[in-house]
């Protein structure tokens, strides 16, 4: 629960930051006619403080809309990044979810319930030890355990796809237990419907 609050804080902070950035950068990064017009209108409005007309109001509205859209986009992006960074780790040659993994998946489940447009691909991975063949089956089992958990959490099966990468896509190179433990994982790819 504590984690959840922390996470919420982090994600909202990230959203704010992104929104702030989006605001600052808008004239440079968004060279659409609308945004350009909004910027000039804004300057005009500053120059002639008292002059309020329908045109500038509309421009202001457009600017706000664009900003809101940008903020929403940034918020979704932050959420997607968050889900994609939530790797679930496993013990060697095991596919059972650890308590820590379940906590983390509960958070992902919450996000997916809130954001109904998100669909996910769950990728199962193994460490570098063992054969390619068996590691595919192991990765498939891991991805499935994650899918089952999220399914039980209330996410529709149609929104989830599971795939095994076996030992072919390590997150960390190397043959230390540290590297191995980072690679025995399931992670997410997020798509928006």
Exposed, middle or buried by CB within 10 Å (0-12, 13-18, 19+), for 112?
Answer: buried
* Pairing, β 118-125 against β 185-192: antiparallel
Out of 72, 168, 171, 191, the residue judged to bind other proteins by CB under 8 A:
168
Contact 97, 141 (CB under 8 A): no
Smallest Cα–Cα separation from 123: which of 81, 88, 173?
Answer: 88
187 binds other proteins (CB under 8 A): no
93 binds other proteins (CB under 8 A): yes
159 binds other proteins (CB under 8 A): no
144 binds other proteins (CB under 8 A): yes
Neighbours of 90 (CB within 10 A): 26
Least distance (Å) from other proteins to the CB of residue 169?
8
Least distance (Å) from other proteins to the CB of residue 158?
13
Out of 131, 154, 171, 174, the residue judged to bind other proteins by CB under 8 A:
131
Range in contact with other proteins (rule: CB under 8 A) among 17-25, 40-48, 107-115, 127-135: 127-135
Report the alpha-carbon distance of residue 135 to residue 166 in Å, rounded: 5
Instruction: List interacting residues with other proteins (CB under 8 A).
Output: 93, 121, 129-134, 136-137, 140-141, 143-145, 147-148, 162-166, 168
């Amino acid at each position: 629960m504590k984690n959840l609050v922390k996470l919420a804080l982090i994600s909202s902070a990230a959203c704010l930051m992104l929104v702030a950035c989006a605001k600052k950068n808008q004239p440079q990064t968004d060279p659409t006619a609308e945004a350009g017009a909004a910027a000039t209108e804004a300057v005009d409005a500053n120059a002639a403080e008292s002059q309020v007309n329908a045109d500038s109001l509309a421009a202001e509205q457009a600017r706000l809309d664009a900003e809101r859209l940008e903020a929403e986009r940034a918020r979704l992006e932050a959420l997607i990044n968050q889900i994609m960074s939530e790797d679930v780790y496993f013990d060697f040659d095991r596919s059972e979810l650890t308590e820590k993994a379940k906590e983390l998946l509960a958070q992902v489940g919450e996000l997916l319930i809130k954001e109904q447009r998100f669909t996910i691909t769950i990728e199962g991975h193994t460490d570098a030890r063992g054969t390619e063949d068996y590691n595919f089956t192991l990765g498939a089992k891991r991805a499935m355990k994650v899918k089952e958990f999220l399914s039980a959490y209330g996410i529709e099966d149609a929104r989830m796809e599971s795939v095994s990468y076996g030992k072919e896509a390590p997150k960390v190179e190397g043959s230390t237990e540290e590297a191995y433990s980072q690679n025995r994982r399931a992670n997410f790819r997020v798509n928006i419907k």
